[in-house]
């Protein structure tokens, strides 16, 4: 059994990790840390885990975490990079669900996250954890930067088109929408029911922290410079991300449906839907799945891709476990075969 620890187990991503790991056939939960809730039984905070998780929250002690085989950081940026060096030195594999190990360029990280990186040598070693792109490197990795939610949906949607050289990389548009759980569990006025309910708005139009991460990933899919307009929106729902992606064709694309189906034919967690489909966020609720549909409206020069994920699963905890499975030599789908919850 793989001994697993979670740093920062009190947020939505933390409880989602617990939900999925408690059902994993090869995992033993060893530690869930929280300075503010140390000593409280996990099931007291999250009754959904009663009878499945018997641990109590503990202080994030190096000794406790070093007894694990894998440690997940479900923490804000700036936390994992302070603790990762000692854990790696003790032979522990690290998966960071925050942003500390996603961006490879130090000045870019410092610009968007407002702090210097404390372990650039480890950042240089870290592997970006999008399995559909970096599967072989993830298998060999000691430390993985788990992708953000928006970047996962956007990159998987654009990947077939960019790799085939069918669209202009300098003119890409990602129109993205997320449920309120994407903002985390902290108390914020903008997340209050009376503020977010029955309303719809864009945010981060001039620049969102996921923009450089998406651009970095898309750059690796083409030899040309990426020009991306990324506009996120807040939806009055709890879970789910829906992205509508636009690319300008540079040549006759042939059969776009066949291109997407062949690209993802062997991917266990990407579902290319039949031509004419419109994937819904509720079709992936609670599942580690990205559902995609591709269109060429009126046979014109624009390709439209629809990509949906659950921001807490394929956009966070589920993908992190997918990475753990690869890093530990387990079947990639282990513990991740849940069917989406409907309605």
Per residue, the 3-state secondary structure of the chain, as one string, reads CEEEEEECCCCHHHHHHHHHHCCCCCEEEEEEECCCCCCCEHHHHCHHHCCCCCCEEECCCHHHHHCCCEEEECCCCCCHHHHHHHHHHCCCEEEECCCCCCCCCHHHHHHHHCCCCCCHHHHHHCEECCHHHHHHHHHHCCEEECCCHHHHHHHHHHHHHHHCCCEEEEEEEEEEEECHHHHCCCCCHHHCHHHHCCCCEECCCCCCCHHHHHHHHHHCCCCCCCCEEEEEEECCCCCCEEEEEEEEECCCCCCHHHHHHHHCCCCCCEEECCCCCCCCHHHHCCCCCEEEEEECHHHCCEEEEEEEECCCHHHHHHHHHHHHHHHCCCCCCCCCCCCCCCC
Catalytic pick among 68, 119, 149, 290:
149
Query: Is 290 one of the catalytic residues?
Result: no
Which residues does the annotation mark as catalytic? 149
């Amino acid at each position: 059994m793989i001994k697993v620890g979670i740093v920062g187990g009190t947020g939505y991503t933390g409880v989602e990790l617990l939900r999925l790991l408690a059902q994993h056939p090869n995992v033993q939960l060893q530690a869930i840390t929280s300075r503010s809730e140390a000593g409280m039984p996990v099931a007291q905070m999250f009754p959904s885990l009663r009878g499945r998780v018997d641990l109590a929250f503990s202080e994030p002690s190096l000794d406790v975490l070093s007894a694990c085989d894998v440690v997940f950081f479900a923490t804000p940026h700036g936390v994992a990079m302070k603790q990762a060096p000692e854990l790696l030195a003790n032979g522990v594999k690290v998966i960071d669900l925050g942003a500390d190990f996603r961006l490879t360029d130090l000045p870019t990280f410092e610009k968007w996250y407002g702090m210097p990186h404390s372990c650039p040598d480890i950042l240089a070693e870290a592997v970006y954890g999008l399995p559909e792109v970096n599967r072989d490197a993830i298998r060999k990795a000691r430390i993985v930067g788990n992708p953000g939610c928006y970047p996962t949906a956007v990159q998987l949607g654009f990947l077939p088109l960019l790799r085939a050289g069918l669209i202009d990389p300098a003119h890409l548009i990602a129109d993205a929408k997320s449920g309120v759980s994407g903002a985390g569990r902290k108390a914020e006025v903008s997340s209050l029911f009376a503020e977010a309910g029955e309303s719809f708005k864009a945010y981060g139009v001039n620049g969102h922290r996921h923009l450089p991460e998406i651009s970095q990933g898309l750059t690796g899919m083409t030899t040309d410079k990426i020009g991306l307009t990324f506009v996120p929106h807040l939806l009055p729902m709890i879970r789910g991300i829906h992205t509508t992606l636009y690319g300008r064709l540079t040549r006759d694309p042939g059969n776009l449906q066949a291109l997407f189906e062949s690209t993802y034919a062997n991917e266990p967690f990407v579902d290319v839907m039949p031509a004419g489909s419109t994937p819904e966020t509720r079709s992936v609720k609670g599942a580690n799945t990205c559902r995609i549909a591709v269109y060429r409206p009126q046979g014109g020069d624009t390709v439209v891709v629809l990509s949906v994920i659950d921001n807490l699963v394929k956009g966070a905890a589920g993908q992190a476990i997918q990475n753990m499975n690869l890093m530990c030599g387990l079947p990639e789908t282990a513990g991740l075969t849940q069917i989406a919850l409907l309605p």
